[in-house]
Amino acid sequence: MPELPEVEITARLLDGALAGARIGYARAPGINALKTFAPPLSALEGGRVAAVSRRGKHLIVEVEDAGDAGAPLVLLIHLMSAGRLQLYETAAGPRDRSSRLLVGLEDGRELRLREFGSKQAAWVKLLGADELERDDALATLGPEAWPQPGEPAELKALLDAPRPLHALLRDQHVIAGIGRSWVDEILWQARLSPYKRGADLDEDEARRLRDAVRETLGGALAHYEQAISLPIPDKLPMPLRIHRHQGEPCPRCGATLEAVHFEDYVIAYCPTCQTEGRVLKDRRLSRLLR
């Protein structure tokens, strides 16, 4: 589940490894993840990778000197829930049915967008650099959650809606970069209920939440700086302590972590630290018990 820290470490490592590399070919094999038609992928051939960066949960690969016109191009990539952008030393590696985009470099290396699992959701857009900021995917993003999620009052204003914090923090239009995994860690760190409404945050809670966003995402990134090198592994070693740890003791107070199951995600939390001892109704569990 690549979220801000996972996408950021991918961008940092690829930026260091790819800057200046010249592109030999670009192809989207099999299921086409490419969502744009013009320019064609072949326009990248002969271009030079200028930089790799992150915006929200998106990766941006900037390419200079491409095509006849030489106008700068960008690959805008969303890994969705199971994508990886991996750089291999040769084009001979495990190129398989998971490959959605292949960018071969003249030095023999190959950059691959691969996607695991049954859903094909990861996507790529090839845009003129001047189109990037206008693209819906970026134009509708909220402010970045990291490195500076703002002052507590700014965060409070951002989240001032009658919706649960768990939903607000994952809404990329509200704040960009947080998803289903890190939201559990952030709310636990801030000692806030996933169901507390954003509009009900007081000043102290907003400060705790701001600190938790910064420390949790920054801590994850520091971990990846030590733990990860290229190619980005198929399975990321996410340093999660709460998410997917229901049934285990809370690392802070020792109470048993609880969970609420939804069709495609799970909220994990500590009743003692976050919900004043209340165990939230788990619809899946109550249905099974009925």
Q: Which residues bind Zn ion (CB under 5 A)?
A: 250, 252-253, 255, 270, 272-273
DSSP conformation class of 44: G
Give the 3-state secondary structure percentages of the chain, helix then strand then coil, rounded to 5. 30, 25, 45
Q: Cβ of residue 273: shortest distance to Zn ion, in angstroms?
A: 3
Report how far residue 227's alpha carbon sits from residue 215's, in angstroms, rounded to the nearest whole number.
18
> Which residue number places its CB atom closest to Zn ion?
250
Would residue 30 be called left, alpha or beta, if left means φ above 0 and alpha means ψ between -120 and 50 degrees?
Answer: left
Give the Å distances, CA to CA, from 81 to 120, 147, 182: 10, 22, 13
CB nearer to Zn ion: pick between 59 and 270: 270
Q: Cβ of residue 204: shortest distance to Zn ion, in angstroms?
A: 19
Phi, psi of 62 (to 5 degrees): -90, 135
Q: Cβ of residue 196: shortest distance to Zn ion, in angstroms?
A: 16
CB nearer to Zn ion: pick between 78 and 166: 166
> Where do we find the tokens 């094909």?
120
Q: Cβ of residue 193: shortest distance to Zn ion, in angstroms?
A: 12
Do 182 and 2 meet the contact criterion of CB atoms below 8 Å apart? no
DSSP conformation class of 98: T
Q: Cβ of residue 215: shortest distance to Zn ion, in angstroms?
A: 17
Q: Cβ of residue 240: shortest distance to Zn ion, in angstroms?
A: 15
Cβ count within 10 A of residue 96: 9
CB nearer to Zn ion: pick between 244 and 252: 252
Q: How far is CA 115 from the centre of its chain?
A: 14
CB nearer to Zn ion: pick between 203 and 248: 248
CB nearer to Zn ion: pick between 27 and 244: 244
CB nearer to Zn ion: pick between 41 and 268: 268
Give the Å distances, CA to CA, from 285 to 59, 137, 232, 288: 38, 36, 36, 5
